[in-house]
Every structure is written in C-alpha cells, then in structure tokens.
Structure 1
Amino acid sequence: MAIRQVGALPLRKVRGGGFEVLLVSSRETGRWVIPKGWPAKRLSDPKAAAREARQEAGVTGKISDTPVGGYRYRKKMADQTVRVVEVEVYVLWVKKQRKSWLEKDQRVRAWFTQGDAARKVREPRLKTLISQFGV
C-alpha cells in the first residue's frame, strides 16, 4: 500500500509569458525533485506543501488550494525497506526567494524552463505533470 506525501511545484512567471520551475536536489541521490514531505496534523495539505518548499528550497508564495496532480516514487525508509509513496502536488507561485534557508547546506536549488524541468526529473508522472502544466 502506498504512503502519502504532499509536494509543491514552485513556479515563477517570466518576461514575455510562460514560467520557470524550481527544482531541488534530493539529499540521498542528488537527483532533481520538487520539494515534498509528510502531511501534518496541524496544517492543511497545501500549507504542509508550502512549508516543505520553504524548508527545502527557501521559497514562499501563494499555494493552490487543490492539487494539480500527483505522482509515485519509491522511497528507501530508515529501516532499509522500500515503500511506494504517492505525492499530491500543489502549485506554489513564488513571491520570495530567501538567500538562506533550513536545508541550504543539504540541497541545491535551480530554476529551469518548463521543458528542461520535465527532462530533469525522473518520475514519469511528474515529467508529464510539469510538461503539461498550463497547456
């Protein structure tokens, strides 16, 4: 059975129309991912996703109330078992990008064009979600 996480898809508008996507490196493998984490008892899912974006990527902004999609990935747990994780993704329109944030020393963050971001991530449904967003 899949376990659940919430994720933020951080976006910023660019001159001339369109937008860029912010990706962060994962701590374990260094591959490109979106900020994501566990739902919180005291926070709504969108607010929990926004908190992950603040902690993992140092960005804040306006988060969508409803998920724009989801994807699955395999996560190695602390006990070395591998679990399937279902991630619900919320769009975060970035208003502020901090120079310093909680996981700055553990991750790299970078802005990509929509096409480049879709190519950088590994999970097929996340690739599709990014490449088809706004189409």
Structure 2
Amino acid sequence: MKKIQSAAIPFRLDDANRLFLLLITSRRKGRWVLPKGTVSGMLPHVSAAREAFEEAGVIGLIAKTPFETYHLRKNVGCGVAMEIPVYTFPMRVTVELQTWPEMDFRQRQWILAGQITEMVESAELRSLLQRFAQSDHSRLKA
C-alpha cells in the first residue's frame, strides 16, 4: 500500500493584505517545513488540519481540496528510499495557540512570502510555496 501525506499551508493576511506563511522546524534536522503527516483513517484535509494543530499550534479554515502535491523522499531502511506524495491544503489561520502538543520539539515562525527562498531548503517545496503566494488561494478571506 502506497503511503500518502498531507500538509497544511498555514497563512494569514495582515491589514495591508500582505501574505504571511507559517513554517515549523522538522524534528530531526531543524529544516523549515510545513506541518505534515501520514494520512491514516481520516480525510487528507482533516489530517492536515490535525498536523497544523499538533505541530504548529494553529487552528483555522482549511480547504477541502489540495492546492498542489509535492514529493518527499523517505528512507525506509536498508538503503531503500521511497517517494511519498504530500498533498497540500491551504489553511487560513484564525487561532494561534500559546501551548500545543509539539511545542517542545519544534520552532514556528511567520514569514513574509518574499522570505520563502531564504528559509525553505527543499527546492520542490520552495517552488510550491512561491506558486501558492502568487495564487488566488492565498487571498481568500473567510
């Protein structure tokens, strides 16, 4: 069975309509990434919202259809790597919690869309976030 993951793209707009994205650090290497996890037993957008709560401490309005998909290479052991699709779901953040389940293991940081190239190491994720920043999805308000 092929594993899939889902990720939230947490975002907010300020009063000047500038787009901010929320990134978190990965647990192992401390890279700036999106909150994501394996989809198991629930719809992918629900899984993405759960990951955003657990890993980034945010709650919001999440799209039911993915924005785009990127691919992640995961080592599965014995020198074997597997390419896993990650479905991304825009999430307009409405609540930022002061405490959350993984706060002791991760950092979170709001960045202006223009800072994506400075922060995101993965070329595929960086490109996806740049496309998101230029899309209509990032301008939706509830």
TM-score between both structures, scaled by the size of structure 1:
0.90
For each residue in 1:46-81, what CA deviation from the matched residue of structure 2 results, as whole angstroms up to 9, or x when unmatched?
A: 111000000000000000010000111222347774
Match for residue 37 of structure 2? 37
Match for residue 53 of structure 1? 52
Conservation of the 8 A alpha-carbon contact between 1:119 and 1:127:
no
Residue 89 of structure 2 aligns with an amino acid whose one-letter code is Y
5+ unaligned residues in a row in structure 2: which ranges?
A: 135-142
Deviates more, 1:117-126 or 1:15-24: 117-126
Shift of 1:106: 0.4
Shift of 1:14: 1.2
Q: Does 1:113 align with 2:112?
A: yes
TM-score between both structures, scaled by the size of structure 2:
0.86
Conservation of the 8 A alpha-carbon contact between 1:70 and 1:126:
no
Task: Supply the distance in 1 between the matched residues of 2:113 and 2:13 (Cα, whole angstroms).
Answer: 11
Residue 25 of structure 1 aligns with an amino acid whose one-letter code is T
For each residue in 1:72-102, what CA deviation from the matched residue of structure 2 results, as whole angstroms up to 9, or x when unmatched?
A: 1222347774322210000010000001000
Residues 1:64 and 1:28: Cα distance change in structure 2 (over 3 Å): same
Residues 1:78 and 1:48: Cα distance change in structure 2 (over 3 Å): farther
Match for residue 66 of structure 2? 67
CA RMSD of aligned residues (A): 1.9
Task: Supply the distance in 2 between the matched residues of 1:27 and 1:78 (Cα, whole angstroms).
Answer: 19
Residue 38 of structure 2 aligns with an amino acid whose one-letter code is W
5+ unaligned residues in a row in structure 1: which ranges?
A: none
Match for residue 127 of structure 1? 126
Taking every aligned residue pair, what percent have the same amino acid on both sides? 34
Residues 1:67 and 1:106: Cα distance change in structure 2 (over 3 Å): same
Count of aligned residue pairs for this structure pair: 134
Q: Does 1:102 align with 2:101?
A: yes
Match for residue 23 of structure 1? 23
Residue 76 of structure 1 aligns with an amino acid whose one-letter code is N
Deviates more, 1:107-116 or 1:71-80: 71-80
Match for residue 10 of structure 2? 10
Residues 1:98 and 1:78: Cα distance change in structure 2 (over 3 Å): farther
- Tell me the secondary structure at the aligned position of residue 93 of structure 2: strand
Task: Supply the distance in 2 between the matched residues of 1:63 and 1:95 (Cα, whole angstroms).
Answer: 10
Task: Supply the distance in 2 between the matched residues of 1:119 and 1:127 (Cα, whole angstroms).
Answer: 9
